[in-house]
């Protein structure tokens, strides 16, 4: 372990004015020392300014739990994060404890947005000045070029996040623990995207096997069927299928992960013409084991006037999700919220999700489980991916809401749009005259 000051770091920054020593070079030296196996120790109550983004690397950073040092970015242009992704090929192991990352300055955008993580332990805070756009922590989020991450433990204290609090886009295995105040939307967001595209035609198919160029399609990889030049064959646009890897040059398709594991191939003999698939990012084995979200904002900035959901779980961007659990969640929505509509937990086009021990107080709709629509999908070159007309609807499936405690909702306690949700038990009360406890549309 080495003190950050030994690398030239100076903790004299003022996040309100941007004054203080620029520690950009000291943070670059910290990355060099990490490559030699050193952890970095930051002083309690110190405040470290940087004018350059810190690239994520295998790191062990330690502050102080009771008197956390602050690291803040004071950037002169858009698009920078306090800690951002790097181009390192090998997956990274990251441990950050007892540090407050603060978003401020003329371009207070995202706090930590990273990918390609093999192991993450984060126990700290990401705060912001009021009204700032951007988000707090993103793990492999939003875009096809984000590489997969796994084995993440996040215990975060967040305030004033704009776009998102903790956002997961392509992650296997995570435990999430969030305490948040005065955040506008998506304090916890789960939204896997598509991560690549694949085109095949009749010439690529021999029997039930497909010749492919991409060898990075391990057994069980979900791929989304987008459209084909004719309707013959067993494939439905907007549905996920699963790879059976025969060798590095050929695959077959199964209609479920279980069938893929057993080698049960779909019959592709009737498939004619050209067909377009998107390789789906995966979010799976996620446990949101604690969340306390309190929103005291009397009026949202115009950009966030419609709070889509304090917790949002959606498959609308074409990714695949499996085995997601929410437990011990407390949400206190803004009681005097007048503009737009607030939702406590919004589930849209998702699969295999359990919500238990959910407490939501004061939102327009406490819990919404809805079918979704595939939209906003882009390939690895940034081009929009279209789904054949009439097949873009995305049904929620296997969503269980068990024993919620929902109070003072203004429109609905639980609103089911579609047939994908099941409610077991629960306590409901509202002082709003026309509020409805449970509605299925």
**Could you tell me the end-to-end alpha-carbon distance of the chain, in angstroms, rounded to an integer?**
58
- What pTM did the predictor assign? 0.92
Q: Is the predicted pLDDT of residue 84 greater than 80, yes or no? A: yes
pLDDT attached to residue 338? 47
Using pLDDT thresholds of 50, 70 and 90, give the confidence band for residue 337: very low
* Cβ atoms 59, 88 nearer than 8 A: no
Pairing of strands 274-280, 194-201: antiparallel
Q: Are 138 and 164 in contact (CB under 8 A)?
A: yes
Nearest to 346 by CA among 372, 376, 374: 372
Is residue 89 a contact partner of residue 55, using CB atoms and an 8 Å limit? no
Q: Decide: residue 152, CB within 10 A, 0-12 exposed, 13-18 middle, 19+ buried.
A: buried
pLDDT in tens, 189-242: 999 988 778 888 877 888 899 988 777 788 999 998 887 776 566 788 888 999
pLDDT tens string 130-184? 877 788 999 998 776 789 999 999 999 999 887 889 999 999 999 999 999 988 7
The token pair at 25 is: 């070079």
10 Å CB burial of residue 30 (0-12, 13-18, 19+) is buried
Question: What's the pLDDT band for 309 if we cut at 50, 70, 90?
Answer: confident
pLDDT in tens, 232-272: 667 888 889 999 999 888 999 999 999 999 999 999 887 77
Q: How far is CA 314 from CA 103, 169, 189, 251, 350, in A?
A: 27, 10, 8, 28, 5
Give residue 239's pLDDT.
86
Beta-carbon contacts of 52 under 8 Å, excluding residues fewer than 6 positions away, are 24, 27, 28, 80
Q: Is the pLDDT score of 386 beyond 80? A: no
Q: What are phi and psi of 178, to 5 degrees?
A: -130, 135
In contact, 135 and 111? CB cutoff 8 Å: yes
Rounded distance between C-alpha atoms, residue 3 and residue 9, angstroms: 9
> Which pair of tokens denotes residue 270?
């009737």
- Numbers of helices and strands, H then E, in the chain: 2, 36
Closest CA to 2 of 25, 22, 24, 32: 32
- Count CB neighbours of 440 within 10 A: 12
pLDDT of residue 106 exceeding 50, the answer is yes
Rounding to the nearest 10 degrees, give the CA dihedral for residues 422, 425, 427, 431: 50
Q: How far apart are CA 206 and CA 189, in angstroms?
A: 41
CA distances from 117 to 7, 81, 86, 189 (A): 26, 17, 11, 18
Task: Tell me the domains of the chain and their CATH numbers.
Answer: 2-193+283-380+395-440 (2.160.20), 195-280 (2.40.30)
């Amino acid at each position: 372990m080495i003190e950050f000051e030994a690398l030239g770091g100076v903790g004299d920054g003022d996040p309100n004015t941007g004054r203080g020593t620029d520690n950009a070079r000291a943070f670059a030296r910290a990355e060099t020392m990490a490559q030699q196996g050193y952890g970095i120790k930051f002083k309690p109550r110190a405040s470290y300014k940087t004018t350059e983004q810190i690239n994520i690397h295998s790191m062990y950073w330690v502050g102080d739990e009771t008197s956390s040092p602050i690291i803040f970015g004071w950037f002169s242009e858009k698009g920078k994060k306090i800690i951002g992704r790097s181009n390192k090929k090998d997956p990274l192991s990251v441990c950050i404890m007892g540090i407050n990352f603060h978003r401020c300055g003329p371009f207070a955008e995202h706090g930590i947005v990273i990918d390609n993580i093999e192991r993450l332990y984060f126990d700290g805070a990401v705060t912001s000045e009021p009204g700032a756009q951007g988000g707090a922590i993103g793990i492999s989020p939003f875009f096809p070029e984000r590489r997969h991450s796994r084995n993440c433990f996040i215990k975060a204290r967040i305030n004033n996040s704009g776009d998102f609090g903790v956002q997961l886009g392509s992650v296997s295995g995570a435990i999430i623990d969030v305490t948040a105040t005065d955040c506008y939307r998506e304090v916890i967001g789960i939204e896997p995207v598509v991560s690549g595209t694949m085109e095949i035609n009749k010439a690529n198919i021999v029997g039930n096997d497909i010749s492919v160029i991409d060898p990075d399609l391990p057994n069980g990889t979900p791929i989304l069927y987008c459209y084909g030049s004719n309707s013959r064959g067993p494939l439905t646009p907007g549905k996920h299928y699963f790879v059976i890897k025969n060798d590095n040059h050929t695959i077959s398709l199964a209609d479920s992960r279980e069938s893929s594991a057993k080698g049960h191939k779909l019959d592709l003999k009737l498939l004619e013409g050209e067909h377009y698939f998107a390789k789906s990012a995966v979010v799976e084995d996620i446990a949101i084991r604690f969340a306390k979200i309190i929103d005291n904002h009397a009026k949202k900035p115009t950009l966030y006037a419609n709070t889509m959901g304090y917790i949002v779980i959606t498959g609308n961007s074409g990714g695949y999700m499996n085995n997601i659990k929410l437990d011990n969640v407390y949400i206190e929505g803004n009681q005097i919220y007048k503009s737009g509509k607030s939702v406590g937990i919004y589930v849209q086009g998702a699969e295999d999700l359990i919500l238990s021990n959910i407490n939501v107080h004061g939102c327009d709709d406490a819990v919404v489980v809805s079918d979704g629509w595939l939209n906003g999908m882009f390939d690895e070159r940034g081009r929009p991916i279209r789904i054949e007309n009439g097949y873009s609807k995305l049904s929620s499936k296997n969503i269980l809401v068990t024993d919620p405690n929902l109070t003072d909702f203004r429109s609905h306690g639980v609103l089911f749009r579609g047939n994908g949700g099941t409610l077991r038990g629960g306590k409901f009360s509202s002082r709003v005259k026309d509020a409805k406890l449970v509605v299925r549309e």
